[in-house]
Amino acid sequence: MVDENVADKGRFLVLHDYGMGGSWWWVRARSAREVRETFAWVEVVTDPRTMARFETEELEETDIDASRMPAGLDGLRAERDAQRGQEGFGALADRNILYLRRRWEEDDEPADYLMEVGSDGRRLRQVEVPEGGTALRSGPDAWSFNPPVVDLFDPVLASQEISRSDFEEQWAHARPVDSGK
């Protein structure tokens, strides 16, 4: 599924990391940003060793302007299309570091999660603030895996942003997650 007119496009290695694995494609596009803006929950992989490893793999390749996408990538494009035009769409997409407060109410003990997030949507540091409990801080060494937890084009993120100083204040007062105190 590669467009014949690719002179103005480069070839990008694209990953949808869903935590315990991932889906990979080669996508011809004008820029890495165009890839991220067109497909939800993907990252453009630029590590030369990873790219070299996938050069010999039989990955599906497509053009960003193709009318039909490979399985998996089609749903990620549909999700992004549904977000486009909503207030806040892409407002945080070009940030290198982002600070968010997200509410988690799916457990018996609801909590706020304050996260420092990198440009790839992965957590760098996190503070869990349970209702009526002790705040716990953690980083990548405490997590068994660290898939992207946010898509920086998601319009919902704009309402979850907090300041760096708000995050740092909570981080300074939280107990390390591995502490027995």
pLDDT confidence of residue 5:
57
pLDDT digits (tens, 9 = 90+) for 2-52: 544 557 999 999 999 988 889 999 999 999 999 999 999 999 999 999 999
The answer, yes or no, to whether residue 61 has pLDDT greater than 80, is yes
Report the sign of the C-alpha dihedral through residues 17, 5, 48, 38, in that order.
Answer: negative
CA 39 remoteness from chain centre: 11
The answer, yes or no, to whether residue 110 has pLDDT greater than 50, is yes
Percentage of the chain exceeding pLDDT 90: 82
Name the pTM for this structure.
0.87
pLDDT confidence of residue 6:
57
Of these ranges, 54-58, 71-75, 174-178, the one predicted with the greatest mean pLDDT is 71-75
pLDDT confidence of residue 102:
95
Distance between CA 48 and CA 36 in Å, rounded? Answer: 19
Which tokens sit at 68? 């039909």
Chain position carrying tokens 């979850």 = 160
Q: Give the amino acid at 11.
A: R
pLDDT confidence of residue 124:
98
Neighbour tally for 29: CB within 10 Å: 24
What phi and psi, each to the nearest 5 degrees, are found at residue 22? Answer: -165, 165
pLDDT confidence of residue 106:
74
Which tokens sit at 168? 């740092």
Percentage of the chain exceeding pLDDT 70: 94
In the chain, what are the domain boundaries?
Answer: 10-83, 97-176
Neighbour tally for 174: CB within 10 Å: 20
pLDDT confidence of residue 178:
76
